[in-house]
Structures are given as C-alpha cells and as structure tokens.
Amino acid sequence: MEIAHQKYGKLPWKRLFEPSIKLSRDGFKIPAELARRMRWYEKELINNPNLSSIYAPNGKLLSEGDLLKRTNFSETLELISKNGSEVFYRGSIAKSIVKTIQATGGIMTLEDLSNFEPVVSKPIYGYYHGRKIMTLNAPSGGPVLLSILNILEGYQLSKEGLNGLNLHRIIEALKFGFALRTEMGDPPFINNTERIEEIMTKDYAAKIRKNISDSITFEPPYYNPIYDVSEDHGTTHISVVDKDDQAVALTSTVNLIWGSQVMDSETGILLNDEMDDFSIPGVPNYFGLYPSPYNFVNPRKKPLSSCVPAIVENNGKFEMALGGSGGTRILSAALQVLLNVYDFEQDLLTSISAPRVHHQLIPNEISTETGYSNELLNELREKNHSIKMIEYKIGVSEIQAVMRLPNGLIHAASDYRKHGIAAGY
C-alpha cells in the first residue's frame, strides 16, 4: 500500500487512515452480515479473551445494530499514519506482534518481519474476444482464469446463450482449470514457469477443448490433477476507478474467518492463518489425495492463492475492474461475471446478482446456487453431473466490480450476497 501511494497517490499518507481511525475509535453499528458471521462463531468469540473484549465485551455476544469499537486498533492505525510502514515491520508494532505469535506457539522473529520486502510484479494478461484481461501471476489464480477464458472463447456462448450445454462446457472448463491449478506455485521457487506460460496460450486451450465432451463429464483423474485444494473464507475485495481511469482491483485476506483467531491485545491486529494455504509434504488432504509439491513451504515463498483481481481494457482504455472473496469460489465467480457481461450481454449488477455454479474438480460435484431452472439442472444430471446446493454458511463467493460504460458513465456494483454496497464521489 505504501509503495502504491508513493507511486500513484495524491492525498497525504496520513489522510488515508483518517476514516478507518475514526471508525475504530468511535465505533460503528454492526451490520447484518457481520452479525450473522459472529453468530456462527459465537463460542470462539466469547471464549477467546482478546476477541471477546471486542465482540462480547460484557460476556454476551454483540448483535446487529450494537456499537462495536476497536480502540487499540485505532491507535495502531494512528502510529502507521504518522510513521509509515517502518513502525509495523521494525518498530513497536512489530515487537508486539512477534511477542503474541511466540506466546501462542509461533516461531516468527523480529528479524523475519524486518526482512520482509513487498514484491512489485508485472501483471499477466490475455485476450478474450479482443478485450485485454490483466490479472496476477501465480501463485494467484490469474493464469487459471486466463486459461479457462481461452477454452471458452472457442465456443459460441454469446450466440447460443446460457443453455444446459454451455453451462456444462463452463463447468468442464472449470474442472480442467482446477486441475491446472494444482501445478501452480510461487514462480521464483518452482521450475515450471514455462508450463504456466503454456497453459495461458490459445493453442493449449484448443487442445483442452478437444478433451471436453459435450455429452458427459468424467471422474477427476481424467483431468490430470497433481492435487491440492486450499480453502479460505476471510477475504475481502474492492474495485475502484477514478476520474482519470486509474483503476485498482485489490483483494486482501486473513485466510479463514477471523484468521488464526489470535488477536494481539496491544495493537488490536488480528493475525492471519495464511500458512494453512501451503501444502504439507506427505500429508494427504481431506479427500485422501496427496498435496502438490509446487506448494510446499519454503522461506520467503508465497502460498497458493485463490485471488484473481482483474482489470479489463477495451481498445487500450479502462473498461472494468473486478475481484472477489469466497475461497476457491472466487475464480468461478469472477469467470461467470465476465461471461455474463461479455457473452450474455448483461449489465454489471445483473451479471453479479445472477445465480452461479462452482466446480473445483474435487469433490466431483457442482455446487449451485438457487435460481437455475429444473430443466437446466436436469440437463446437467443427464451428462452425469452430481449437483449439490450451496450451503450458505460454508461460504458463497462475492464479486465487487466497477465498469465504464460506452456512454462514458461509470457503473459500480457490489454483491448482495454479503450485503455489499457501491459508492461514488
């Protein structure tokens, strides 16, 4: 954030923190979505002293409409606003974080934090029906998103519409995509960068299309996974564009809901559990499949991520920024919003609000939201698909996007699934 501000920012650094400091210090009324998730984790929030001091200050869980304050976190933000990132990585905040981590069984040291260096990398990009899609390279889901778009570009989706056959093709492309995802890892630490580049080509997509049957789906080994799937739920995304068409698609996460459930009592910082996104050598996952060697732990290595923030250009000009939250479902959600806009010609809000499907290869089933006709779902069953309705508590995907329309107006839309809102200025 500090590097982006130094390169592109116009407002004073300190001013960026003022709204968050005020909200943390003065408090805010708990919205419906936060209240719902607090109820899901009531036991954990009440039994954890540091979390209960915020979410259950009198021994009873706060509810929708109650005032939630984070006084110590506001003081932490104040320190960063005055001293920059230095105080976080090498100052008093760093010391407090390390103390808490070590007290709860972690091994992070002050040297670890001090040695952290942000990485500024060039985006990868591909073209979908002439539009330039820019996103993040591995270990994010960017290469897989571009590969799936290339696969689907070879079909006549816009001409035929979202019928049972085309939904089947989308699902099959997702299954191949999630198989490819098992070959992803942090590029500086793996020796398959040529493979990552290959899967983003149109020629490779054409080979995959030849393996997609219009009449039947297959068992997971058909798609050649190595295999590992990590899941996360504690993710958020914002998409922003200014009057000069400077656009930002920003995804951040603490991994699972409430991260590690460890909060530093002095700074109010909730610690993530991103280490869970790495694979463990020799330890099979929940489904009995062994993890991918491309995602084993190494010093300074980044784990596999589901994030796919993306910016779309049309004829060299900004057209859309989007991204989402929802673990592995982020990729399928972002894909379907792009298809809804560019193939099925829906406006942005309709594209985001439309029902979605998800398939991550294992388990070998389609997770589907309500809203699809029985006729369409039966077409999928006839092709041997297993269908399961999404359980809301497990987590649905949410997309936030902003788009410049052909008439020059800006259309922003936030997903109703998390009661999101769009804002203008």
Active-site residue list: 235
The answer to whether the Cα torsion of 296, 297, 298, 301 is positive or negative is positive
Cβ pair 21, 81 in contact under 8 A: yes
| Cis peptide bond N-terminal to 363, omega within 30 | yes
255 is in an annotated binding site: yes
Joined tokens for residue 19: 């709204």
* First vs last C-alpha separation in the chain: 21
Q: How many helices (H) and strands (E) does the chain have?
A: 17, 15
CA-based nearest residue to 228, from 187, 277, 264, 194: 277
87 is in an annotated binding site: no
Cβ pair 332, 359 in contact under 8 A: yes
253 is in an annotated binding site: yes
254 is in an annotated binding site: yes
Joined tokens for residue 34: 């936060």
Length of the chain: 425
Query: Between β-strands 131-135 and 235-241, what pairing exists: parallel, antiparallel or unpaired?
Result: unpaired
288-298 as b/e: b if 16+ CB within 10 A? ebebbebbbee
For tokens 């990485």, what's the residue? 119
327 is in an annotated binding site: yes
List the Cα angle 393/398/399 in 5-degree steps.
Answer: 175
Cβ pair 182, 227 in contact under 8 A: yes
Cβ pair 398, 333 in contact under 8 A: yes
- E-state strands within 299-380: 310-314, 317-325, 357-358, 366-368
305 is in an annotated binding site: yes
Segments in 32-109 forming alpha helices (H): 32-40, 42-47, 49-55, 71-83, 86-89, 92-103
For tokens 């508590």, what's the residue? 393
315 is in an annotated binding site: no
Round the CA-based radius of gyration of the chain to a whole number and report it: 22
Query: Between β-strands 366-368 and 387-389, what pairing exists: parallel, antiparallel or unpaired?
Result: parallel
> Binding site for L-glutamate: which residues?
253-255, 277, 305-306, 327
> Binding site: which residues?
253-255, 277, 305-306, 327
